[in-house]
Amino acid sequence: EIVAAIESYFGKGAPLAGLRALVTSGPTYEAIDPVRFIGNRSSGKQGHAIATALARAGAAVTLVCGPVALPDPAGVKVVRIESAREMLAACESALPADIAVFAAAVADWRVAQEAPQKIKKPAEGGAAPTLSFAENPDILASIAGLKQGRPALVIGFAAETEKVAEHAAAKRARKGCDWILANDVSAGTGTFGGDANTIHLVTENGTEDWPRLTKQQVAERLAARIGDHFGKKTT
Amino acid sequence: EIVAAIESYFGKGAPLAGLRALVTSGPTYEAIDPVRFIGNRSSGKQGHAIATALARAGAAVTLVCGPVALPDPAGVKVVRIESAREMLAACESALPADIAVFAAAVADWRVAQEAPQKIKKPAEGGAAPTLSFAENPDILASIAGLKQGRPALVIGFAAETEKVAEHAAAKRARKGCDWILANDVSAGTGTFGGDANTIHLVTENGTEDWPRLTKQQVAERLAARIGDHFGKKTT
């Protein structure tokens, strides 16, 4: 930490000094009632690693994260939320930013009518309940589509199980973001909850296939790639 | 640990020596698809504390637990599961036992049809999905109702928000268990995820109101109470 702070102070190894970054990480939880919720299996490892790498590269980082079992990264402002709607509000509050990386696994749907009291088990032989869902806000598309205050570089993730690069390019166009980090999460790849990731970076110039890397290496490579991007733009 | 082991070896402070205990703890997760699940907010703190206290009192303890962020208690055999059906199977495999304490927050329902692939977001304007549920096995009632191999002392929990002792007494009769540890989990009591608990112990002899205690103190008091119970029966 001290070395990092000194490097940052003297501008060495701080290609992102002076830039503000917003990163999301982890799952969202959508409440069914005060006790039950719908969650997903995102560990937050990749998003937290990206927040750490951007901070080490000199950026001022706000990390908006759902319920994870990870410690807060050092030198990062952490905002903890639960639901997708809370995540969107926290992201909006974290603007302005130059860089936004949306690594969280946001629930597409929330329960249409959250119960204010615990839903009781019906009497013997009673009917099991049914849940209806409402669509959640699309955080990536919302921030990428801002007319005012859009971050200069908006980066999304795509978790795909087939035709990874093709689906990711379509997602990039549909969401209006600049880059997509696409990975294959099909069963057996061990990406969910695991420590490694095989990334395809989709930009306006096409697709870069990265080798299989640890999530920390993915984060460091992304931070370097972002540094190159802003370096090119300012020269 | 060494002191505990020596005490256990010499029979001092080991009122439950020679007895086998089964304890459940934590939430269950019920899969919606490979990525999404329905969970609940049980931290596992109370169940894990009970497993620890029973082991320290000399019992041979098997702890069947759902996804929790807690370390495995020392000196306890831990079996990790996710769903209610897995929990029931693990409990049955852990028998025979003299004592069974069901502290887990088991989902009443599972999703009727778990999807083998990730459920895709529908196209723009498409209908949100609906989930139907099937009732899960009742683990407490199943074990309490065993004709053969029923543990001598079966203890359940009741999380209530009103008429706590009355509802717990009704639950004791309905489930066929011996004791119910009832607590008030209404909003503001801080029981869920918190470190304290106010317990009403419902037995065949009526209700004992315990003072507000930490979850560790509840566990120790319960272990002592179980020791008294078996002591009385054997003299």
The answer to whether residue A234 scores a pLDDT higher than 60 is: no
> pLDDT below 70 — which residues of chain B?
1-13, 122-126, 186-194, 232-235
Q: H helices of chain B, where?
A: 2-10, 45-56, 84-94, 139-144, 164-175, 215-234
Rounded CA separation B3/B14 (Å): 12
- Phi and psi at B29, nearest 5°, equal -110, 130
pLDDT grade for A119, boundaries at 50, 70 and 90:
confident
Please write the tens of the pLDDT for every residue from A188-227: 666 655 677 889 999 999 999 999 999 999 999 999 999 9
Rounded CA separation A106/A128 (Å): 27
Q: What is the pLDDT of residue B132?
A: 87
Task: Please answer whether residues A186 and A162 qualify as being in contact, where contact means their C-beta atoms are separated by less than 8 angstroms.
Answer: yes
Residue B106: closest CA among B180, B160, B40: B40
Residue B193's Cβ-count burial label (10 Å; 0-12, 13-18, 19+) is exposed
B128/A131 touch (CB, cutoff 8 Å), yes or no:
no
ipTM of the complex: 0.81
Residue of A29, A32, A36 to mutate, interface with B, max B Cβ within 10 Å: A36
Q: What is the pLDDT of residue B235?
A: 45
Q: Which domains does chain B have, with CATH numbers?
A: 2-111+132-230 (3.40.50.10300)
Q: What is the mean pLDDT of chain A?
A: 89
The answer to whether residue A3 scores a pLDDT higher than 70 is: no
Q: What is the pLDDT of residue B198?
A: 87
Instruction: Give the active site residues of B.
Output: 40
Q: What is the pLDDT of residue B13?
A: 67
Task: Please answer whether residues A116 and A170 qualify as being in contact, where contact means their C-beta atoms are separated by less than 8 angstroms.
Answer: no
B35/A132 touch (CB, cutoff 8 Å), yes or no:
no
Question: What's the rounded mean pLDDT across residues A126-134?
Answer: 80
**DSSP label of A10:** H
Q: What is the pLDDT of residue A235?
A: 45
